[in-house]
Chain A
Amino acid sequence: MAASPPEVVIRLRGISNRFGRQVVHDGLDMEVHRGEIFGIVGGSGSGKSVLLRTILGLQVPRAGSVEIGGRDLTRVHGRELRQVKRGYGVTFQHGALFSSLTVAENVELPLREALRLPDEVLAGLADLKVRLVGLPPDAGAKYPAQLSGGMVKRAALARALALDPPLLFLDEPTSGLDPIAANAFDELLLYLQASLRLTVVMVTHDLDSIHRTCNRVGVIVDRTMITDTLAGIVDNPHPWIQEYFRGPRGHLAALAATRAPGGDR
């Protein structure tokens, strides 16, 4: 790594979220650097999804600021907000593909809305994205209900990449996949991140996936976030983090990561 300070793409400052009396985040800070894969980890109910929704601008925090590419999402509106939103792609936990459209139409939708292009070009671009995520050629004509879980995740990724965003958010991209499919998804993510120079933020529970892909990890504990490199976070004395990474599942994942070729990133 170069010695120069990394460029910060996303910066969260003092985020607080509250639902009724339940405080989810209290003064949470987070930074994501350009070109890295950043993992968000936390127990069930610790507010991972709320945090992701806050970063996406779907949820307005009680306090604090969310900057993406230097623009504060809590302050911009209208055109400018739309521009920020075109700069990122999102996949949701269950895919959230539009069930009444085929996969190809799902991928075309953002293009169709953002740009004026002839149908033939749209079809070509959609096909390119469908192939990019490793879906078989006939997948484009299928409806989401006809796809397997792994294919839904890939199709969602294709839609997220439709506008070639430099920034990608993934909500539990490998949940519900068998280990082989999850592994393949990790490899795809690494390939895309390297070849398209993406910055990736992913919420995940999958320790194997964290060990394989993430450069840095942010753990939500006690309503704030502890951020460190993977090697650093594993040695963090916080009891929850110790249990998470050093528990029986954590050992297996660490073992797999050191054994996998080139796994120790």
Chain B
Amino acid sequence: MFLSSRLVDGTRSLSITGAWRTAHAGELAVAVAGVEADGREAVLDAEALETLDLTGAFFLHRLEARLAAGGSAVRWRGARPETLAIAAQLIDAAAAEVAPSSRRRDEPLGALGRWTVGRGTQVHDALEFLGRIYFVLGAGLLRPRRLRGASVVRHVLETGIQAIPIVALIAFLISVIVAYIGAQELRQFGGEVFVVDLVTLSVLRELGVLLTAIIVAGRSGSAFAAEIGVMRLNDEIDALRAIGLNVVEVLVVPRILGLVIALPLLTVIADAMGLAGGAVLSWVVLDIPFNQFLVRMQEAIAPTTFWAGLLKAPVFAFVIAMIGTFRGIQVRDSSRELGRLTTVAVVESIFMVLFVDAVFAVVYWQLDF
């Protein structure tokens, strides 16, 4: 359709027809690949060529090159198309340059070394970042204005108050589930009433604070990384630095303080909703009336139980906010980096929350708290 070939007096006559345009690139590629050079002189004829754009010229140039490579002399009957001349000039200039250097092979030892150095740099950067945060916090003790109250309040609103509905709902549902499973098991021993102990202890010591921290890590940790990351891509961070502002002071510390205030408050709400969930289930499924639930609860908890959970909240908050902002500041150059580092921020902060929780468990055990 685009190319017809005839043999005339020992020369191959190739007639180029139709529209050699981008829209037909697929067919053109096939047509050109079908031409076999056999050493005979080839005569190209563009008389019947309707249109030729640069993509078409690219394939015409391939055709010429293919014939020449097969030892055929190429001649044009009539004029050689102008667009082909432009394409040929560009492509031949490219071929004249040195071939691109082949990529160096990644040897296993070298890869390990690079990975190790990369990790080392990350640890170094993270420690430096932590140091800057402490520095700003320390300076803030002397001059509280530097802690930017308005900004902190905004972050308490966004990360705390606006998270209340979701945190409350999830805490309620999870404790209903825990109580329900507990009720099924404990009923076999006739110890339904211990469901109260189970729910109270697990919600106050672990579930309340842990669930809240994980929700906040997903909600606000990602938001911190994305906000700061986009600011980096827009050169806003450089603008702040150029104005002479401390990025850690302006962007990082208010977020950390905001979350350190918000997360304990959210934890209290999660605790309350968790206990409410346990109470409702006990009442509906186990016929334990509300006042009896409260009495039993008083017996189950020690004076420290509530504080054992709540004490962890500010630590979790610090970890989440620090990782989110740290990863945000690391964003460089591309939208893919932004997505990758936001993901990293969430995964790492949830992991670190669980890790720190395990550390707390060991410490509490040792202290008999």
B-binding segment of A34-42, A111-119, A176-184, A242-250: A111-119
Mark out the residues of chain A between 100 and 147 whose CB falls within 8 Å of any chain B CB in the assembled complex.
100, 111, 114-118, 121, 124-125, 127-129, 131-132, 137-138, 141, 143-146
B334 contacts the other chain (CB 8 A): yes
A130 and B53 CA atoms in complex are apart in Å by 16
- Asked if A100 and B334 sit within 8 Å, CB to CB, the answer is yes
Say whether, besides A99-B333, A145-B333, A131 and B55 are in contact (CB < 8 Å). no
Q: Which residue of the partner chain, among B25, B53, B82, B86, contacts A115 with CB atoms under 8 Å?
A: B25
Task: For A118, give the chain B residue with the smallest CB separation.
Answer: B29
- Asked if B86 and A195 sit within 8 Å, CB to CB, the answer is yes
Q: Contacts of A99 on B, CB cut-off 8 Å?
A: 233, 333-336
- Asked if B334 and A131 sit within 8 Å, CB to CB, the answer is no
Q: Contacts of B87 on A, CB cut-off 8 Å?
A: 128
A86 and B53 CA atoms in complex are apart in Å by 14
B54 contacts the other chain (CB 8 A): yes
B48-83, CB under 8 A of A: which get 1 and which 0? 000001110010001000000000000000000011
- Shortest Cβ gap from B92 to chain A (Å): 10
A118 and B94 CA atoms in complex are apart in Å by 20
Task: For B89, give the chain A residue with the smallest CB separation.
Answer: A131
- Asked if A196 and B90 sit within 8 Å, CB to CB, the answer is no
Q: Contacts of A132 on B, CB cut-off 8 Å?
A: 54, 90
A151 and B90 CA atoms in complex are apart in Å by 18
Task: For A195, give the chain B residue with the smallest CB separation.
Answer: B86
- Asked if B335 and A128 sit within 8 Å, CB to CB, the answer is no
- Asked if A115 and B335 sit within 8 Å, CB to CB, the answer is no
- Asked if B332 and A116 sit within 8 Å, CB to CB, the answer is no
Task: For B97, give the chain A residue with the smallest CB separation.
Answer: A137
Q: Which residue of the partner chain, among B25, B83, B91, B334, contacts A143 with CB atoms under 8 Å?
A: B334
The interface on chain B, measured as residues whose beta carbon lies within 8 A of the other chain's beta carbons, has a size of 28
- Asked if B58 and A125 sit within 8 Å, CB to CB, the answer is yes
- Asked if B333 and A164 sit within 8 Å, CB to CB, the answer is no
Q: Which residue of the partner chain, among B21, B54, B334, contacts A196 with CB atoms under 8 Å?
A: B54
Q: Contacts of A117 on B, CB cut-off 8 Å?
A: 25-26, 29
A116 and B25 CA atoms in complex are apart in Å by 8
- Asked if A127 and B94 sit within 8 Å, CB to CB, the answer is yes
Say whether, besides A128-B58, A195-B83, A115 and B334 are in contact (CB < 8 Å). no
- Shortest Cβ gap from B164 to chain A (Å): 34
B93 contacts the other chain (CB 8 A): yes
A254 contacts the other chain (CB 8 A): no
Q: Contacts of A118 on B, CB cut-off 8 Å?
A: 29
A127 and B90 CA atoms in complex are apart in Å by 9
Q: Contacts of B343 on A, CB cut-off 8 Å?
A: none
- Asked if B26 and A115 sit within 8 Å, CB to CB, the answer is yes
- Shortest Cβ gap from B24 to chain A (Å): 9
Q: Which residue of the partner chain, among B55, B86, B332, contacts A145 with CB atoms under 8 Å?
A: B332
A138 and B99 CA atoms in complex are apart in Å by 11
Mark out the residues of chain B between 207 and 223 whose CB falls within 8 Å of any chain A CB in the assembled complex.
none
The interface on chain A, measured as residues whose beta carbon lies within 8 A of the other chain's beta carbons, has a size of 30
A128 and B83 CA atoms in complex are apart in Å by 13
- Asked if A100 and B83 sit within 8 Å, CB to CB, the answer is no
B22 contacts the other chain (CB 8 A): yes
Task: For B29, give the chain A residue with the smallest CB separation.
Answer: A121
Task: For B101, give the chain A residue with the smallest CB separation.
Answer: A138
Task: For B85, give the chain A residue with the smallest CB separation.
Answer: A195
Say whether, besides A117-B25, A128-B58, A137-B97, A143 and B333 are in contact (CB < 8 Å). yes
A125 and B91 CA atoms in complex are apart in Å by 10
Say whether, besides A128-B87, A163-B22, A100 and B336 are in contact (CB < 8 Å). yes
A120 and B94 CA atoms in complex are apart in Å by 15
- Asked if B332 and A131 sit within 8 Å, CB to CB, the answer is no
Task: For B335, give the chain A residue with the smallest CB separation.
Answer: A99
Q: Which residue of the partner chain, among B23, B55, B335, B337, contacts A125 with CB atoms under 8 Å?
A: B55
- Asked if A164 and B54 sit within 8 Å, CB to CB, the answer is yes
Task: For A100, give the chain B residue with the smallest CB separation.
Answer: B336
- Asked if A131 and B58 sit within 8 Å, CB to CB, the answer is no
A125 and B62 CA atoms in complex are apart in Å by 11
A121 and B32 CA atoms in complex are apart in Å by 12
B234-258, CB under 8 A of A: which get 1 and which 0? 0000000000000000000000000
Mark out the residues of chain B between 10 and 57 whose CB falls within 8 Å of any chain A CB in the assembled complex.
21-23, 25-26, 29, 53-55
Q: Contacts of B233 on A, CB cut-off 8 Å?
A: 99
- Shortest Cβ gap from B327 to chain A (Å): 17
- Shortest Cβ gap from A84 to chain B (Å): 14
A100 and B25 CA atoms in complex are apart in Å by 26
Q: Which residue of the partner chain, among A115, A121, A131, contacts B90 with CB atoms under 8 Å?
A: A131
Say whether, besides A115-B22, A121-B25, A145 and B334 are in contact (CB < 8 Å). yes
Known: A129-B54, A138-B100, A145-B333. 20 other contacts (CB 8 A): A86-B23, A99-B333, A111-B22, A111-B25, A114-B22, A114-B23, A117-B29, A124-B58, A124-B91, A128-B91, A131-B90, A131-B91, A132-B90, A143-B334, A144-B334, A145-B334, A164-B54, A195-B86, A196-B53, A196-B54
A residues near B (Cβ < 8 Å) are: 86, 98-100, 111, 114-118, 121, 124-125, 127-129, 131-132, 137-138, 141, 143-146, 161, 163-164, 195-196
CB pairs A–B below 8 angstroms (23 shown): A86-B23, A99-B336, A100-B335, A100-B336, A114-B22, A115-B25, A116-B26, A117-B25, A117-B26, A118-B29, A121-B25, A124-B58, A125-B58, A128-B90, A129-B54, A131-B90, A131-B93, A132-B54, A143-B333, A145-B334, A163-B22, A164-B22, A164-B54
